[in-house]
Chains A and B, each alone.
Chain A
Amino acid sequence: MLINHPILGPRDASEFVYLGDANLIHRPDWQAEDALAQFTKYGYLRDNPAGEHRELWFHEQGDRSWLIVTRNTLTHEISKVEMARDVASAEGRSK
């Protein structure tokens, strides 16, 4: 399997490690009123879609950047690869 790294181009999947659901970058606010409920959801609840799934991959044997890969769990087709840092800053979290 090849992952088309946004900066480095196609790289073999063996260079990457998989973390899980891309929602893990949306860490809840620990000061919120319902922080415990939010963190319980963040820590334990996952969707398990049969189809498109946004997930975090780490380019461990490469430039060590985090990627958000959109992969179809039925066909393994990868339709989109983004830098996690770009996604986070687009959401206004690079402050």
Chain B
Amino acid sequence: MPNLQAITPLGNKEPVTETYGPVTLTEITDIALASVSARLGREQDTAAALEAFLGTPPPGAAEHCGNNLSAFWMGPDQWMIEAPFETHEDLAARLAGTSPNAYSVTEQTDAWCRFDLKGPSLSDLFERLCAADTHAFTGGEAVRTSIEHLGCFVLCRTQNHFSVIGPRSSAGSLYHALVTAFRSVF
């Protein structure tokens, strides 16, 4: 059996952590993702199953919620579920087993890269990157928008902590856009 070494979205052995002025950028790789999409006529069952799984009702439009297990809204009756990779590597299979045929589940863990930004004045950064009105965000928002021509989710966990979730195959371009904006702001 070959001894394979997992690499991060940016192609390194270890996730990147960098500091720009007062802000820290961290590449997050220890989160499992799966998306859930309600089937026609099973919207209520899907919401109930997700509430049982997450311990909280699934988030409303353009919101996210939860702690250890969390979810954010992707579209009408569609959510992305986030869980620690360590304990939930099989997240998609677990979700699929909770309420068969109520919803469709897609494994998403390796489809996305995630950069967490922590520090003050993050909305000054995002106003350069995307059309989302991050100045109005107070925590709990999750919007999909375009950053560097890439469809990315911008999650405001608190005013001083944002996550950017973008397509993994374009992680380098997204990282370049973030770093360029950092240099412009700080």
Which A residues contact B (CB, under 8 angstroms)?
Answer: 7-8, 11-12, 14-15, 60-65, 83, 85, 94-95
Contacts and interface: CB of A to CB of B under 8 A. Distances in A.
Interface of B: 40-41, 61-62, 73-76, 131, 143-146, 151
B132 to A, nearest CB: 9
Nearest to B77: A85
Name A's interface SS: loop
B144 A63 contact: yes
Nearest to B145: A61
Contact of A15 (B75, B76, B131): B131
Contact of A7 (B40, B41, B61, B151): B61
Contacts of B144: 61-64
A94 B40 CA distance: 7
B75 A63 contact: yes
Nearest to B146: A61
Contacts of A14: 131, 146
